[in-house]
């Protein structure tokens, strides 16, 4: 009689451990899907932050402030669509031009430092 009870208890404990493994695998799968979803939401490395049709001007310009070096602006906005140099009297400014959805954006640099934009 004891021999018959032992296989039943082995089977029931095996089933319980299999259920625990299944629950653990399902939990890991749900966590993996959640992590992939969160990671894929943000901008990609080196992706250009630009004005999109539903993005306001304030959001585009909030990254800018006077005194930023050119390389920092390039990291945030990407390379300009064109570059110009404007000189008036003894002062020359480098102008980066970005062509957006609604209008062109102009960023003005003096000695590789952002001084203004429009």
The CA distance from 79 to 73, in Å, is 9
Give the tens place of pLDDT for each residue, 18-60. Answer: 888 777 787 777 766 666 665 555 444 444 455 444 443 433 6
For strands 91-99 and 104-110, give the pairing: antiparallel
Instruction: Please give the model's pTM, rounded to 2 decimal places.
Output: 0.50
Q: Would strands 82-88 and 91-99 be described as parallel, antiparallel, or unpaired?
A: antiparallel
């Amino acid at each position: 009689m004891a021999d018959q009870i032992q296989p039943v208890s082995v089977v029931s404990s095996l089933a319980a451990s299999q259920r625990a493994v299944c629950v653990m695998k399902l939990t890991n799968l749900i966590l993996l899907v959640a992590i992939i979803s969160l990671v894929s939401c943000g901008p990609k490395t080196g992706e250009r932050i630009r004005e999109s049709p539903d993005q306001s001007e304030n959001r585009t310009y909030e990254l800018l402030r006077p005194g930023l070096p050119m390389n920092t602006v390039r990291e945030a906005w990407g390379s300009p669509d064109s570059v110009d140099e404007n000189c008036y009297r003894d002062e020359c400014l480098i102008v980066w031009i970005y062509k957006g959805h609604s209008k062109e954006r102009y960023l003005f640099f003096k000695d590789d430092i952002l001084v203004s934009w429009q």
